[in-house]
A and B are shown apart, each in its own frame.
Chain A
Amino acid sequence: MKRTFPLFLLFVFGILGIIPFIIPHPVVQNTDDFLRNNLLKILAAFALILGLGSLLRVHFDKIKRKRQNWEYSWVLIITFVITSIIGLFGGVTGEGILPTRIGSFSFDIWTIYFNIEVPLGATMFALLAFFMASAAYRAFRARSSEATLLLVSAFVIMIGVLPLGESISHRLPSFTQWIMDVPNVAAQRGILFGVALGMLATALKIILGIERSWLGGGGE
């Protein structure tokens, strides 16, 4: 029963998810609308709580077992608790019951977001440029004909997409566009078909109960 019932639910709702795309009858569409606007929204909210609970459990466990870099888990837990309290009781812009201003210093959610999350996020991503420059210098070598082709096309694309490409030759941006439109699309389309067929097969296996690893527990 512990396994049969989730499998039965998955089968029913999996099929219900496909049918509205095929049958436009109002009864089918209204049922689908009801499921999405009522049941699924509630389920998704529960999933959010479950996710946060799981996150905290993982980090408390890491601290308890003193796993590698366990100290950083405290940073996550403390910031999670502080921002949750501020968000729940202080409001987004400080309109809640919890005061989020001391003199000219404010610490409402928006202030935290724009002064901590935005610069930190942007910094993390900006660092990539430096690592990429260093890695490209060390590893991007024309060791074979394929690598040379990759190198040349990378140069053409890099220069062609820039305003500089237009200055070198007015045909270079169009040539760059052709590389993206024809050889790139040909390769991407092949990948897309492969991925789509794989997804279809996996989805069918899950809906029909053949693939059961999502149930956890390491098998019967």
Chain B
Amino acid sequence: MKIIDILERIDRRIIYLVLLIVVVLPLIFPSVQSVRVMPPVEKFFNAVDKIPEEKALIMDFDYTPQDMPELEPMGIALLRHAFKKRIKVLALSLYVQPLGLAQRALTQVTEEFNSIAKTNADSVIYGRDYVFLGWQVGPILAMLSMGESITNFYRVDYYGNQTDTLPLMKLIKNYSNVGLVAALSPSDIPKYWVAYAQNRFGINVGAGVTSVSASEFYPYLQTGQFSGLMIGMKGAAEYEEMVESNLKVKGRRKASESLPSITYAHLLIIAFIVIGNISYFIKRRQK
């Protein structure tokens, strides 16, 4: 068999095996890869940074285990940013499945800050610095109802506390007390935030989305309907970079650690496409 025939018919099991090696090796020996921060992420960072002291950041955790590798590092980086700048956080999930992942991110970042806190004022305290509203039925209902009254829609928080008894919720009544909504979602949810919450109540929206769905969100960024956009693992790594370099917040940077793996996987796929095309053109010329 000629070499060109071999190149044209590489067994898919070989492709799977090579890809597995290329993806797994950089994860076994992780190294943080620094990235250039692009304008969409820089805008997002600045939008969070400019949230006034009296206003809160709504963090909508809508990622599921399927999209967790891309979107969870965004959530963690955003929480680090918010807690470092003492921005009040209202966390919620518009679907049931992401609740556990949202709680995990909140617990992780809270513990990071509390482990180095020296005073009560430095600590991140539930009810004072952040509230986890949990889930209520109907994503669009939640978006619309929070414009009128957050505690009226979320009468109890994720842990079963009456929301109107929490100190933070006495300050944050509705969207007029919210600086930005950060929607981390693999679906159309960030667009819904624009359609329902922004159009009607004028709230600012930032989106964290998966790479595969990114292209459809760019028009919203260009019009200014999105205050910023984070795309996939690279977007998360850029935000991690900004949080570490601008705010000096240290912590594990999962997205930045995963970039070498993604880089090699992309290169491998490109190499396979090139090989496929070379063999295709040679065969065509022979015919």
Contacts and interface: CB of A to CB of B under 8 A. Distances in A.
A binds B: yes
A114 B145 CA distance: 31
A173 interface: yes
Contacts of A158: 266, 269-270
A110 B276 contact: no
B269 A185 contact: no
A36 B266 contact: no
A151 B182 CA distance: 34
A163 B259 contact: yes
Interface string B245-287: 0000000000000010011011111101101110011000000
B141 A44 contact: yes
Interface string B9-25: 01010011001100100
Interface in B33-76: 33-36, 38-39, 64-69
Contacts of B118: none
A32 to B, nearest CB: 8
B121 interface: no
B276 A137 contact: yes
A34 B25 CA distance: 56
A219 interface: no
Q: How large is the interface on B (under 10, 10 to 19, 20 to 34, 35 or more residues)?
A: 35 or more
A141 B219 contact: no
A119 B66 CA distance: 9
B152 A45 contact: no
A163 B35 contact: yes
A21 B200 contact: yes
A134 B10 CA distance: 9
Interface in B50-105: 64-69, 97, 100-101, 104
B192 interface: no
A162 B12 contact: no
Interface string A165-194: 010000001000100110011001101100
A198 to B, nearest CB: 15
A1 interface: no
A113 interface: yes
Interface residues of A, number: 53
B137 interface: yes
Interface string A126-163: 00011011101110111000000001000100110111
Contacts of A44: 137-138, 141
A114 B100 CA distance: 8
Contacts of B100: 110, 113-114, 118
Contact of B148 (A29, A132, A173): A29
A45 B215 contact: no
Contacts of A191: 216
21 contacts: A36-B145, A37-B141, A37-B153, A40-B141, A48-B137, A110-B100, A117-B97, A118-B68, A121-B64, A121-B65, A125-B67, A129-B19, A129-B265, A130-B15, A130-B16, A133-B269, A141-B280, A161-B211, A162-B266, A164-B263, A181-B222
**Which 9 A-B pairs give the minimum distances between C-beta atoms?**
A121-B65, A137-B272, A125-B66, A44-B137, A118-B65, A134-B12, A44-B138, A121-B66, A137-B276
Interface of B: 10, 12, 15-16, 19-20, 23, 33-36, 38-39, 64-69, 97, 100-101, 104, 136-138, 141, 144-145, 148-149, 152-153, 199-200, 211, 214-216, 218-219, 222, 231-232, 234, 259, 262-263, 265-270, 272-273, 275-277, 280-281
Given A141-B276, A151-B277, A185-B222, 5 more contacts: A33-B148, A36-B144, A122-B66, A151-B273, A163-B35
